Structure 1
């Protein structure tokens, strides 16, 4: 029997690698002759670069760059197969990098994310995937594009720095200095939100508050983002508000789409393609996946649904071991997950569940494999 383990981490308690270790040890205790393989996975959010690098035996490349407030930082991205780079914008432009008392989307920039992209280009990588969750920014991607050589100019022809407050000052956009390697590179944006750039569901009003935006700041930024949107349409002929996901990461999605011609793609689908997941399914009898908590949202771009659908397409059963189940978790049965096993075995607080996470997961794995052994014995 050949088993494949591919679970998301249980955030705050168990890593993907720990889960693979527990599943392998438990499976061998019940099916001594089974073949086990485990890979870390993520859905395009936190931990994506680590998961891809480990799954593909890649490396981390560390550079000096600038954070959301243009402070000097050290950050990293992943490389593998000689031509692939995978970047998390949160590594250079993430919200946790800004102290709460300094959070203000007028003052933050994606410049550091652009520096990561630029370094990957200059190192010769021509397939670049960018995860754009968790941003501290609402600059329309101006900062990142500035780092790549685009100049956003005010009415006096002065180059803007690319913070959120600069949106209102854009008069013209000069793309003549865009890094030449961009035209040779395939960009993929890991994005699971469909928000447009502007409007009530756009970048500013949907995500700006958590980045420190007051109602007054948000109204100002929305007005400026609409002006920016018009500038982009004048320059490219593209109305970014008609493209789902352009409002992601404070408008970085729009800039990546318009200036780098990036493909917008589900995070989990991108990760599964990067790690060549379909080829890993060859000859596999059962896949075990999971996440910390499963509910109706898990059917939309999360690890279990992505893996379940890949398994379903190949006729391979998949089971999810999860920390807990919420409303609508059963929707995953429509996404290739045959059964859901919870680690929680009784009434307990979240604190206790996290403290006992390894023990509880191991017990759930034992129950899962014993049930599988029972099923194999049935006629």
Structure 2
């Protein structure tokens, strides 16, 4: 009996990772009903991280919080024992901007802090935070404010939410920091090495992707500079140049400086949460994938992390994707024997997105029918 571990990420704009795994598994079993399929949806530390943990048996907890612009939203986190997995994207992410309208100066991470506080008050003492998909550049100030930290102006008033308001910050008061936050250990799932400030910092590299115009970039860099100064005065440490401090609009900076957080690559974090090494035991084949296999995939995306772990265990890996822009050499160097692209079945992008589940079922059936021997396979679906 062939044992197959199906471990895809989401197909962005089309299917969740769990939906991809289900469709692919249906196709595999249609092609060969004797196969034993283990479905392990994964993520790269951003959107889908909590869902991956829940699919692996963690318990979901719903919580009402505020989105990036302060509107109420329903978010969730995952818990197992005294450990919680929190996802920035599901609380204050770009996907939660009202009507998709960016607010680069006013967007805040306060809602993320509300979720973290809920987890802490529920007994969590190990907090993993997936940092992908941020809508704000506030240096983590909102996150900390939700946990009891006060950011004060020269008159002793609390500054408003958002990055721009931090230009007025004169002092950070840590005395109200939630006691549970002081005792907890925080880990950030983070795939970038940008510092908080400067030409490779949070503002310069990422704020324009969140809607900031040229003049707003100047405001935000000034704000982050001021924020770094007042945090240093309060904590006695300067983490503004630490690699990764600029992640998620500098949210990593606030968590590192005040909460003592450490960082770990996103996919490595998720694979640990879902016990991927344990699930690999006894597998004959691993199938991973994401919407687009491209150059970005090679830099910390989920399929490459899955393939790396499988290769260490000596298990062959196939990939499914909406489109494949990688060469044979790139695929094989990453540990992927073959890539099956939905674009080869349906070249029209809109139809491919709309019919992704059915196309994945067809792909799964093809894989099962053509993979009698799990030897190195030729690449398919290459562009």
TM-score (norm 1): 0.91
Distance (Å, rounded) in 1 between the aligned partners of 2:103 and 2:24: 44
- Residues 346 and 38 of structure 1, relative CA distance in 2, 3 Å threshold: closer
Aligned residues of 1:305 and 1:335 also touching (Cα < 8 A): yes
2:7 match:
6
Aligned residues of 1:324 and 1:344 also touching (Cα < 8 A): yes
Return the offset for 1:364: 2.2
- Residues 228 and 328 of structure 1, relative CA distance in 2, 3 Å threshold: farther
1:62 match:
62
Aligned residues of 1:298 and 1:329 also touching (Cα < 8 A): no
Return the offset for 1:36: 1.6
Return the offset for 1:280: 0.6
1:179 match:
178
Partner deviation per Cα, 1:113-171 (whole Å, 9 max, x = no partner)? 11111111000011211112222211111111011111112222222234222211111
2:76 match:
77
Unmatched 5+ stretches in structure 1: none
Distance (Å, rounded) in 2 between the aligned partners of 1:109 and 1:347: 40
Total equivalences in the alignment: 374
- Residues 100 and 25 of structure 1, relative CA distance in 2, 3 Å threshold: closer
Q: Which moved more, 1:117-126 or 1:361-370?
A: 361-370
1:262 match:
261
Distance (Å, rounded) in 2 between the aligned partners of 1:253 and 1:132: 8
Aligned residues of 1:132 and 1:191 also touching (Cα < 8 A): yes
Structure 1 vs Structure 2 CA RMSD = 2.2
1:253 match:
252
1:276 match:
275
Distance (Å, rounded) in 1 between the aligned partners of 2:27 and 2:97: 42
Return the offset for 1:269: 1.0
Distance (Å, rounded) in 2 between the aligned partners of 1:208 and 1:153: 24
Tell me: higher relative CO, structure 1 or 2? Use CA pairs within 8 A at least 6 residues apart: 2
Return the offset for 1:296: 2.0
Aligned residues of 2:12 and 2:291 also touching (Cα < 8 A): yes
The correspondence of residues 123-272 of structure 1 with structure 2, limited to 5 A, is 123-272=122-271
Partner deviation per Cα, 1:298-351 (whole Å, 9 max, x = no partner)? 111111101011111111111112221114574232232222222333572211
Q: Which moved more, 1:192-201 or 1:20-29?
A: 20-29
Distance (Å, rounded) in 1 between the aligned partners of 2:328 and 2:151: 46
1:44 match:
45
Distance (Å, rounded) in 2 between the aligned partners of 1:328 and 1:253: 34
Distance (Å, rounded) in 2 between the aligned partners of 1:302 and 1:364: 22
Distance (Å, rounded) in 1 between the aligned partners of 2:51 and 2:13: 16
Unmatched 5+ stretches in structure 2: 376-383
Distance (Å, rounded) in 2 between the aligned partners of 1:163 and 1:22: 41
TM-score (norm 2): 0.90
